[in-house]
Structure 1
Amino acid sequence: MAIATLNPATGEVEMTFEPHGPQEIENRLARAQSAVFALRGTSFADRAGWMRAAADLLDDDNERIATIMTREMGKPIGAARAEAAKCAKGMRFYADHAEEFLRDEVFGDPGSLGASRAFSRYEPLGIVLAVMPWNYPLWQVIRFAAPALMAGNVGVLKHASNVPQSALYLDTLFARGGFPAGSFSTLLIGSGEVRAVLEDPRVKAVTLTGSEPAGRSVASIAGAQVKKSVLELGGSDPFIVMPSADLSAAVATAVTARTINNGQSCISAKRFIVHTDVYDRFAELFTAAMGALRVGDPLREETQVGPLATAAGRDELAQLVDDALTGGATALTGGAVPEGVGWYYPPTVISGVTASMRLHREEAFGPVATLYRVDDVDSAIALANVTDFGLSSSVWTTDQREKARFVSEIEAGAVFLNGMTISYPELPFGGIKNSGFGRELAAEGIREFCNLKTVWEA
């Protein structure tokens, strides 16, 4: 893929960029390695001051970077502004809490170990490579970069090739805030150059958010090099509605949960599993609300759903829906590629999906919801767990016994009760099964790329 801004609302190429060649890659890695040594002499207070300054710059740049994100990947402009604001919040969160999260852990009874003292200490690893996707051009990067830099690590970013302006904005943000030169840098390279960068001995670890095949590839390279990796891959999250649920709240949240970011989010609810007692009413309300969403130019304030980010992504989504409809499923609303320019796909609700259909097994990365009817809790849990993914889940019930069962038996990295899955800086985030391993955010996220060093003294 060319490194270019290709506006998904128009299909037009707006800007192109020359990839970094071998010498520029080496220059940037050399500066990153120098920054490793520079950061070792800084304190948490130093880094916190620089991080807060960078967050202030991001707030100042909100409208400019929001417009860039919208033009590069099509998210509604209001959502782009909110993403930039969330990034600044996440940066300040780690500025406030990094020292607390990485404080030495002192063993309370060193005498039992034959020691005068014993403790463990978190130390940075060095250069961490981040391979990031286009769907949240800032947030996916910041939720790695903020904890990594606050821990004293150095970040090197390989961003998706269709969001180069976002990547280059991040290239300078932390240095503008005061971090030593080279502490965070962007490599404008294609996926074919990732292996060489990851195999470079100066790079100590890697984090990837993206597709399952990309995750398998990067993890295999890292494994061969005995380097730490964290993966956040796809999801096919269930949204379960039981008879005791507040149906109006569940429907309103379901619409947002399926169409946020134009439906292009790993943690979007995708499979709507509804108890038979409330299925018909939920389907009626949900379908009407999905069909009423305003689709259009993402730079217009009133737009609720913009285009998909790439032509290939729109084609793949359309193929999944067409396969289901050919196999006997029903489109309650949407279900067809509209005429006109841009890579738009309408909010769509599909019922009658069976196990033989691709839409049942594969992740729909766009505003397409599948509806399932179940008779009881057992059936809901079984259907929720049938997927190979295990990122998150949303469950709607006021029954305490049902809540306990869902929390305990759903196979996922998170269960949200009577609410929509959202990534918060304060909460650990990640999945199981084919959704990846490791955790981002909270204390767990900053500790992933640290060496936990044990110290014992006689």
Structure 2
Amino acid sequence: MDAVNPATDEQLDSYEEHTEGEVDDALDRASDAFEEWRERPMRDRERLLSAAADTLRENKREYAETITREMGKPIDQAVAEVEKCAQGCDHYAEHASTYLSADHHPSPPGTTAKTVYEPLGPVLAVMPWNFPFWQVFRFAAPSLAAGNVGLLKHASNVPGCALAIESVFRDAGFPEGAFQSLLISSDRVDDILADDRVRAATVTGSGPAGSAVAATAGEHLKKTVLELGGSDPFVVLDDADVADAAETGAWARNKNGGQSCIAAKRFVVHTDVYDEFRRRFTDEVESFAVGDPMADDTDLGSQAKPDLLSDLHDQVTASVEAGATLVTGGEPLDREGAFYPPTILTDVPEGCPVDSEETFGPVAAVYEVADEASAVELANDTEFGLGASVWTADRDRGERVARRIDAGCVYVNQLVKSDPRVPFGGVGDSGYGRELAGDGIREFVNRKTVWVE
């Protein structure tokens, strides 16, 4: 399992995959740890999560450099990702006991009826490379707080991140086996999920990956949460603050090199403001500095892998050949590393790749629509349903339009983001279940009814 810097093509390190015996030992450790961890008082678990937050902050530059070297995001964005993980740990350190307090129900006089929330056991997390720390911590913090233990199967191009995350929990004082990273290939996931010692699974990644895990989990009647792809619309209505929408939209498409499920991907713009938005939006994306991800003034680093850049460029090329207009970008940069510039396409034909597929990189499709109804119709013209953004000067109008868009979360006059305080997840081909907030911590628990006469 090789870690390669996508900005330089340099091999960083090579890791041995865990053998069958090592994985079996890890599952035994997880089972043993769960029996002890589930009995820990909630206050102890919260205290250890707070210690994990401290560990993250104390070593944030070291962790950020590992992120940047393995998957190419700019170092300042990597530092911000580690800080967000610390915030997530802090959130559950403060609120886990409230989220999991018993719910009382009406019952006959002299009886007590309530729902209590008890952990399920070892949970397998299959996680992606694009936010290699945050995607893991938004699962791990609530799940560990609930009394579960974690088994991480991380993406094969970020093994250093996987081991660093395991070390965070170890250094914070979590018991042995409470959180372990398994360095394994994807074709070994089914066998692990089928093992009786694993009680549930969560997946963030592609649709095929989620479907495969869900099928195996369903066969063995195990709970799953899936956070899959997205093709988020960014709707700009005729009364929007166009300058603000263009500035925020440029960042919403290109943050993290555009490699985000919740990135704005389809820009749906009312005809009355279309020309101004396109001009401002183009100026914004052309101002971004693409270069060395270790430099503090870089806005976009490299794409995570050369083959991903090639796939993205194929989507752009096929869309232009189908009739789309290339406004800016559209060619890999002529330099070492997997660098692709911010790219804008207009006059996008229905059914071409940038219209019908998820583009996982800095490529924006911009559409012109005649009215609000057409904007909503186009926003919903996708099999995905992860997030959406609506821009308007009228907050009531924004909320009304938000309610008409089929997505797991809609932000008005803001880019789509995940936040520990609110549930996160999608509908349709974007998956099911929720992460974060109270909904997230209650995904992997037994909602047990206790009736006492």
Amino acid paired to 1:47 = R
CA 401–50 in structure 1, closer or farther in 2 if over 3 Å, else same:
closer
Q: Deviation per CA, 1:290-317, whole angstroms, max 9, x where unpaired?
A: 1121000000011000110011110110
Which among 104, 107, 111 is matched to residue 110 of structure 1? Answer: 107
* In structure 1, distance between residues paired with 2:173 and 2:333: 48
Which portions of structure 1, spanning 4 or more consecutive aligned residues, are displaced by more than 4 angstroms?
Answer: none
- Scaled by the length of structure 1, the TM-score of the pair is 0.98
Which among 27, 30, 33 is matched to residue 32 of structure 1? Answer: 30
Name which of structure 1's ranges 175-184 and 376-385 shifts more when overlaid on structure 2: 175-184
* In structure 2, distance between residues paired with 1:164 and 1:273: 38
Question: Which residue does the alignment assign to 2:90?
Answer: 92
Tell whether 2:307 aligns with 1:309: no
Which among 327, 345, 358 is matched to residue 332 of structure 1? Answer: 327
Offset, 1:267: 0.3
SS at match of 1:456: strand
Question: Which residue does the alignment assign to 1:81?
Answer: 79
Tell whether 2:354 aligns with 1:356: no
Query: Structure 1 stretches of 5 or more lacking a match?
Result: none
Which among 445, 453, 456 is matched to residue 440 of structure 2? Answer: 445
* In structure 2, distance between residues paired with 1:41 and 1:367: 47
Offset, 1:399: 2.8
Question: Which residue does the alignment assign to 1:57?
Answer: 55
* In structure 1, distance between residues paired with 2:346 and 2:150: 44
CA 145–359 in structure 1, closer or farther in 2 if over 3 Å, else same:
same
Offset, 1:384: 0.3
Amino acid paired to 1:40 = R
Question: Which residue does the alignment assign to 2:425?
Answer: 430
Identity %: 49
Question: Which residue does the alignment assign to 2:99?
Answer: 101
SS at match of 1:454: strand
Offset, 1:115: 6.1
* In structure 2, distance between residues paired with 1:376 and 1:400: 17
Q: Deviation per CA, 1:405-437, whole angstroms, max 9, x where unpaired?
A: 312210000110001111100010000000000
* In structure 2, distance between residues paired with 1:106 and 1:356: 51
SS at match of 1:244: coil
Residue pair 1:427, 1:441 contacting (<8 A) in 2 also: yes
Q: Deviation per CA, 1:374-414, whole angstroms, max 9, x where unpaired?
A: 00111000000001000000000123553243122100001
Question: Which residue does the alignment assign to 1:45?
Answer: 43
Question: Which residue does the alignment assign to 2:195?
Answer: 200
Tell whether 2:254 aligns with 1:259: yes
Tell whether 2:275 aligns with 1:270: no
Question: Which residue does the alignment assign to 1:4?
Answer: 2
Question: Which residue does the alignment assign to 1:165?
Answer: 160
Question: Which residue does the alignment assign to 1:243?
Answer: 238
Which among 329, 338, 344 is matched to residue 343 of structure 1? Answer: 338
* In structure 2, distance between residues paired with 1:119 and 1:260: 45
Amino acid paired to 1:24 = E
Q: Deviation per CA, 1:16-64, whole angstroms, max 9, x where unpaired?
A: 1000000110111111111011112210111111111111111111000
Q: Deviation per CA, 1:319-370, whole angstroms, max 9, x where unpaired?
A: 0000011111111110112212100100000001111311110001000000
Question: Which residue does the alignment assign to 1:19?
Answer: 17
- Scaled by the length of structure 2, the TM-score of the pair is 0.99
* In structure 2, distance between residues paired with 1:176 and 1:338: 41
SS at match of 2:409: coil
Name which of structure 1's ranges 48-57 and 147-156 shifts more when overlaid on structure 2: 48-57
Question: Which residue does the alignment assign to 1:389?
Answer: 384
Question: Which residue does the alignment assign to 2:149?
Answer: 154
CA 87–400 in structure 1, closer or farther in 2 if over 3 Å, else same:
closer
Amino acid paired to 1:87 = C
Question: Which residue does the alignment assign to 1:176?
Answer: 171
Q: Deviation per CA, 1:251-305, whole angstroms, max 9, x where unpaired?
A: 1100110001000000000000000000001001111111121000000011000
* In structure 2, distance between residues paired with 1:285 and 1:418: 17
Q: How many residues align?
A: 453
